[in-house]
Amino acid sequence: MRPCFIIGPCVIEEASINNGIASHIKELSLRYNADFYFKSSFDKANRTSLTSYRGPGLSVGLQILSDIKEQFNLPIVTDIHETSQALPVSRVADIIQIPAFLCRQTDLIVAAAKTGRVINIKKGQFMSAADMLYSVQKARQSGAGEVYLTERGNMYGYNDLVVDFRNIPAMKDICHRVIMDCTHSVQIPGGNAGKSGGRPQYIESMALAAKAFGAEGYFFEVHPEPEKALCDSACMLQLDKLEGIVKKLVDNK
């Protein structure tokens, strides 16, 4: 199985940012033996603060993602938070993502699965690997083409995440593909005065450890200037560091 990379800004930003990142991803897709997806969110409905930037919204956001898909010939990943978003999102996205906080929401999973698209369910910070079986079953029994699971760490205390890499082989037994979220796993949830902090110096280590445990895909939120990102700036990977990590994760042929 070729590894896959899900890459992009956390939330849809201005055109120069979106297109610059998409262009970079496209170049990587031509050089490395892997599948590359552009990922960004049209609405971040679970931001820590009411005043945090959420995105352009469903209609405008899907048009932006559709334009990126056409211009750069890249498959698209985006997340949904409400059942009504599943069908319109399926017309643009190749993979519909279920956020970690919502990984047990039956109606949301069922609505996404009924579109027939591949579903990527992010394992909740409060979930064991074994218990993700039931989320996968909901999706499969509702018509999902394939079901992926994404590891992003667990909370064992306040404002911190710990990754148990044993979750990767455990989840490989219950889904089509296991992806490592290499950026959200270094997040310090809500630990920065109304927004999340992070430890981006560990992003590469998370990716390499996940490869050693058998991960089949990698999720990176990237930005050319992480400190200026409109969402999750503290745990973003700087765009110009991405290829160096990809080289270590892909065995070129």
Taking only the tens place, the pLDDT of each residue in 108-142 is 999 999 999 999 999 999 999 999 999 999 999 99
pLDDT of residue 153: 95
How confident is the model over 94-98, as a mean pLDDT?
Answer: 98
Handedness of CA 131, 133, 138, 139 (dihedral sign): positive
pLDDT of residue 192: 56
pLDDT of residue 198: 80
Percent of the residues in the chain that have a pLDDT greater than 90, as a whole number: 84
Q: 173 CB contacts (<8 Å, ≥6 apart)?
A: none
Homologous superfamily, domain 46-54+78-249: Aldolase class I (3.20.20.70)
pLDDT band at 191 (very low <50, low <70, confident <90, very high): low
**Over the chain, what is the mean pLDDT?**
93
How confident is the model over 220-229, as a mean pLDDT?
Answer: 95
d(CA 206, CA 82): 30
Q: Say whether pTM exceeds 0.85.
A: yes
pLDDT of residue 253: 43
Q: Name the DSSP class of 219.
A: E
